[in-house]
Structure 1
Amino acid sequence: MSATQVQVHTTAIDGLLIVDLPRPGDNRGWFKENWQRAKAVEAGLPDFVPVQNNISFNGTRGTTRGIHAEPWDKYVSVATGSIFGAWVDLRRGPGFGTVVTHEITPSTAVFVPRGVGNAFQTLEDATAYTYLVTDHWSADAQSAYSFVNLTDPQLAINWPIALDQAELSEKDRNHPLLAAVEPLPPAPVLVIGAGGQLGSALTRELMERDLPYTAYTRSDLDLANPDGWPEDVRTGEGLRRYRAVINAAAHTAVDAAETPEGRIDAWAANATGVRALSGACQRGGVPLAHVSTDYVFDGQLPLGQFYTPDAAPAPVSVYGQSKAAGECAVTAWPKHYLVRTSWVIGSGHNFVATMARLAENGVDPSVVSDQHGRLTSAADLAAGLLHLVDSGAPYGTYHLTGSGEPTTWAEIARWTFEELGHDPQRVTPVTTEEYTAGKTGIAPRPSNSCLDISSLDVVGFTPRDSAAVVREALERRTED
C-alpha cells in the first residue's frame, strides 16, 4: 500500500486500531485529512458516525491523563506535538487487562472502541490532543465510565516521564487497581416487539448469553405510532448507546390485512413505522436488524428453486406489499441487516401446537399440501439475528429459515402426529384451493416459500432443519 494512503494496523486489543495518516508538507507547513470517511472505511476502519469533536490542549510536557473507558467509540489523533498513548481493555472477556502503547504524532490516529481505557502523556509542550466520539458527552454519561490506575503494576505501563514528575489530576492518581475494576459488559441491544414469539425468543437468548438489553413491548413502543414513541428513540439520540436495534415487531395478521381497516394497520406498522425506525437509527448511527418475510415474493418460482436475497420482490398480498415497503425503508440506512424468514414456530400458539392438540383430541385435519417451504425455529431466528449483530457480518440482506429439504404443511402435520404416537394418515392433504373453498377474506399465500440461506454459511451460522423444529416445538409444549 502506498505511503500516500491511509493504512490501518490491528493491535493486541480487539478493535483497537492504529492508523497511519498521509501528511504531505512543504516550506509552509503540512496538511492531513484527519478523518475522511470513504478512505478510512476502505482502509479498514469501522464506518462509525461521530457526533462530537473534542480537543484537549496540554501546556507542558509530561501532562498525563487517564485511564478512562467511555461508553462510546472514539477516534483520537494529535493536531500538534506528540504523545505517548496507553490503552487498556476493560471490557468483559478474555482480553480484559490487555495493554497496548504507541506514540502518536500528527501522522498517526487511533480508533478506540467502547470500553477500552484511554490514557496519554504529552511528549512536547503545547500538545493538542483531538478526538471524535459517537455520542454526546454529558455529566450523566460519566456514570457509565470505567477507570483504572495509571500506576498499576499489573499493567506495567512504561511511562516515558515518571508519574511522580508528571502533571496529572488527583482523581487520576486515585483510580482503582485493575483487580478491583468490574469488567464492562457489551453495549446493550434494543429489542422492539419483545412481546411476540420472536421478541420473546430474543430476550431469552440475550438472558442466556448474559448480554445487556432493553426490551420494548407494544405497550412501551407501538411501531405503528411513531408520534407516541419515547422521545429519545424518535429523535435517535437515545439509540446511540445501543450496539444494535432489532425490530421483531410487525403486523402479521395476513388475512386481516386484506380488509379496509387491516390494510391501514398493516401499512402503519410494516411500512410507515419501519420508515420512522430506520430514520431514527440513522440519526443515532446505530445498526438496524429487521425481520421480513417470504411474502414479499409471489411464490411462483418453480419448485426446486429458491429465492435468493437479491431476488426482486413481487408481493401479491397486502401484508407482503406492506413488508416490501418496509424493506425499502430499512435499506435506505446502510447499516442494516434485512433478514427474511418464513414459517416461524415459537412459544405459545403455533401450527405444531395446533396439530398436536387436534391429534390428542381425536380430530383428523385436512391440511394444505401445495405450499412448500421450511419451518424456522424462533429460537434459531433470534440466535441468527444476534450472530449477525455480534460477528461483524457485512451489512445487507440475508435469508434465515430452517435448513434441510423443503416440505409442506401437510407433511409437517403428519410428522407432528407421528412424533406423538398417532397415525399420520389421519392427516388428509388438500390443495390450497380446496382448503379455502367457500371462505372469504383469505389472502393469497406463496406456493413456493423456499428461501436460499447459503449466505448464512458464509457468516458462520447454521439453523436446524424442519424436523428438528417440530421436535423442539413439541418438547417446549410439554415444558410449558
Structure 2
Amino acid sequence: MEFEKKLKVTETNIPGLLVFDLPVHGDNRGWFKENWQKAKMTALGLPADIQWPIPLEESERSEADLRHPMLKDAKPMAPRRTLVTGANGQLGRAIRDYVQAHGLEGFEFTDIDEFDFSDPAAYAQIDWSLYGAIINAGAYTAVDKAQTPEGRTAAWKANAQGPALLAKTAIEHNLTLVHISSDYVFDGVTEVHDEDEAFAPLGVYGQAKAAGDIAVAMAPKHYILRSSWVIGDGHNFVKTMIALSDRVANPDEALEQVTVVDDQIGRLTFTQDMARAIFCLLDREAPYGTYDLTSSGDSVSWAVIAREVFAQANGNGQAVKPISTKEYFANATAPVSPRPTYSTLDLAKIEETGFEPSDWRDELHAYVAAARKGE
C-alpha cells in the first residue's frame, strides 16, 4: 500500500506570505518528508533568492521587541547552585580549596551550625529549586565513641538519618547527590573490596554508614564514594604520628618507642584526591552509582605508614614498634569498635572514568613535608 501527500501552496491575506504544504511519502517501509524542492517550489511562487536575515530597519517589531535587549547584552541565567555540607571537616576544606583554585562559582558551604542535614525541620529554610547538586562531606567519624549509648545515637543521626533526608530531598527536587562512604561497611575478611561486595559492618559506625549508603542509593542521581583511612586538613593519624616522632626526637621527653598496629591492612585516602574525584565524576557526567576511592599504591599496615612518617619527620622510624590490634586495646577502659582487618578498596571502576588516583606514598611525603614547614 502506498501513501502520498502532494506539494501545494496556499496564499494568505498577508502580502508576500505563502504557506507551503510539504510532500510526505509513505509505503510499507515507513514515512519521509521532503523539505526542499527548489524547482517545484519556485514554480509555485517561492522567491528564488531569499535575503536573510532581514535588516532590522526593514522589519516590523512590536513595542516589546523594541524594549528587549540585544542578545549580546542579555545576562545569562546563573547556573544552579551546589550545596556542600560538612564544610569545616577535612574533606569539606579540600572541596573548598578545589573550588577556589579552579575559580568555580555557585558553591555554598555550610556546616551543622548553619544547616543540620540530620534535622528534618532544617530543610524548610532552603529554596531547593535554586540548587542542582548536594555534596555531603559531613559525617560522624568517632568510631569508638559510636559504641557508647550517646555516640550510637549521634552516629545514626548523622550517618543514616541525615543521608536519608538528603536523598529524599534529591528525589523531590531532581538533585545530584554526592555522598562519602567508608570501608567500615565491610567486615574486612576479603583482602580487596569492590563496589558489589555485600555489606557486613562490624560496629555501630559501620552499621550507620551502611544504612546511609542504602538510603542515598535510592536517589536516581547519586554518587557514593567509598574511602578508607582519610588524611586531610584536620586531626588525623599522620599528624598524630608527626607529633609522636617529635617527642621521640626530643631529648627532654621520656618517650623512646611508639606502638602501632600492624594487622590492619589498607591504603590512605588524601582529601585532595577525594575532591578531584568528586569533580571528575560530576564534570564528566560519569554513570551514577558507587565508586571505591583511595589513593593508589601498595596495601600496608598502619605501622608501616607510621614508620614512613617517623623516618621523614625525624629519621627515627625504628622507634615504631608493631603490635596487634588485640594487644593495642588490651587495657582499654572505654568501648572499642571492631576494625576491618583488610580495608583495601578496588580502584578499577573509578579509573575507568579516566580518574587517576595519586600514589599514597607520594602524597604522604608531600603532606609530611608541608606539615614540617607549617603549611
**TM-score (normalizing by structure 1):** 0.63
How far 1:250 sits from its partner (Å)? 0.7
Structure 2 equivalent of residue 444 of structure 1: 338
Deviations 1:424-453 (A, max 9, x none): 111001010110102130000110001101
Q: Which has the higher contact order (CA 8 A, sep 6+)?
A: 2
Residue aligned with 1:479, SS: coil
Residue aligned with 1:397, SS: strand
Residue aligned with 1:243, SS: strand
Instruction: Tell me, in whole angstroms, the C-alpha distance in 1 between the residues paired with 2:364 and 2:134.
Output: 29
Matched, 1:227 2:131: no
Q: Aligned AA for 1:407?
A: V
Residue aligned with 1:291, SS: strand
Matched, 1:245 2:126: no
Matched, 1:275 2:186: no
Q: 1:159 to 1:261 in 2, by over 3 A?
A: farther
**TM-score (normalizing by structure 2):** 0.80
**Is the contact between residue 83 and residue 133 of structure 2 (CA under 8 Å) also seen in structure 1?**
yes
Structure 2 equivalent of residue 411 of structure 1: 304
Matched, 1:330 2:216: yes
Q: 2:270 aligns with which of 373, 377, 393?
A: 377
Q: 1:197 aligns with which of 90, 93, 104?
A: 90
**Is the contact between residue 292 and residue 349 of structure 2 (CA under 8 Å) also seen in structure 1?**
yes
Structure 2 equivalent of residue 479 of structure 1: 374
Instruction: Tell me, in whole angstroms, the C-alpha distance in 2 between the residues paired with 1:442 and 1:171.
Output: 72
| Greater alpha carbon shift after TM alignment, 276-285 vs 158-167 | 158-167
How far 1:419 sits from its partner (Å)? 1.2
| Greater alpha carbon shift after TM alignment, 168-177 vs 366-375 | 168-177
**Is the contact between residue 376 and residue 469 of structure 1 (CA under 8 Å) also seen in structure 2?**
no
Q: 2:103 aligns with which of 210, 213, 227?
A: 210
Instruction: Tell me, in whole angstroms, the C-alpha distance in 2 between the residues paired with 1:159 and 1:447.
Output: 73
How far 1:326 sits from its partner (Å)? 0.5
Q: 1:352 aligns with which of 213, 218, 238?
A: 238
Taking the TM superposition and a 5 Å limit, the aligned residue runs for 1:77-92 are none
Instruction: Tell me, in whole angstroms, the C-alpha distance in 1 between the residues paired with 2:309 and 2:365.
Output: 8
Q: Aligned AA for 1:191?
A: V
Instruction: Tell me, in whole angstroms, the C-alpha distance in 1 between the residues paired with 2:140 and 2:289.
Output: 23
Q: Aligned AA for 2:364?
A: V
- Count how many residue pairs are aligned between Structure 1 and Structure 2: 323
**Is the contact between residue 369 and residue 431 of structure 1 (CA under 8 Å) also seen in structure 2?**
yes
How far 1:383 sits from its partner (Å)? 1.3
Q: Quick check: which has more Rg, 1 or 2?
A: 2
Q: 1:181 to 1:415 in 2, by over 3 A?
A: farther
Instruction: Tell me, in whole angstroms, the C-alpha distance in 1 between the residues paired with 2:75 and 2:306.
Output: 51
Residue aligned with 1:240, SS: helix
Residue aligned with 1:327, SS: helix
How far 1:184 sits from its partner (Å)? 6.7
**Is the contact between residue 309 and residue 398 of structure 1 (CA under 8 Å) also seen in structure 2?**
yes
Instruction: Tell me, in whole angstroms, the C-alpha distance in 1 between the residues paired with 2:4 and 2:213.
Output: 51
Taking the TM superposition and a 5 Å limit, the aligned residue runs for 1:390-429 are 390-429=283-322
Q: CA RMSD in A?
A: 2.7
Q: 1:160 to 1:321 in 2, by over 3 A?
A: same
Instruction: Tell me, in whole angstroms, the C-alpha distance in 2 between the residues paired with 1:373 and 1:159.
Output: 67
Matched, 1:299 2:193: no
Deviations 1:56-96 (A, max 9, x none): xxxx999xxxxxxxxxxxxxxxxxx99xxxxxxxxxxxxxx
Instruction: Tell me, in whole angstroms, the C-alpha distance in 2 between the residues paired with 1:229 and 1:209.
Output: 29
Q: Percent identity?
A: 40
Instruction: Tell me, in whole angstroms, the C-alpha distance in 2 between the residues paired with 1:349 and 1:254.
Output: 14
**Is the contact between residue 81 and residue 132 of structure 2 (CA under 8 Å) also seen in structure 1?**
yes
* Higher fraction of helix: 2
Residue aligned with 2:349, SS: helix
Instruction: Tell me, in whole angstroms, the C-alpha distance in 2 between the residues paired with 1:249 and 1:258.
Output: 19
Residue aligned with 1:361, SS: helix
Instruction: Tell me, in whole angstroms, the C-alpha distance in 2 between the residues paired with 1:285 and 1:298.
Output: 34
Deviations 1:165-204 (A, max 9, x none): 24445466552563x6677775432101101110111111
Instruction: Tell me, in whole angstroms, the C-alpha distance in 1 between the residues paired with 2:81 and 2:369.
Output: 31
How far 1:334 sits from its partner (Å)? 1.2
Q: 1:219 to 1:61 in 2, by over 3 A?
A: farther
How far 1:464 sits from its partner (Å)? 1.1
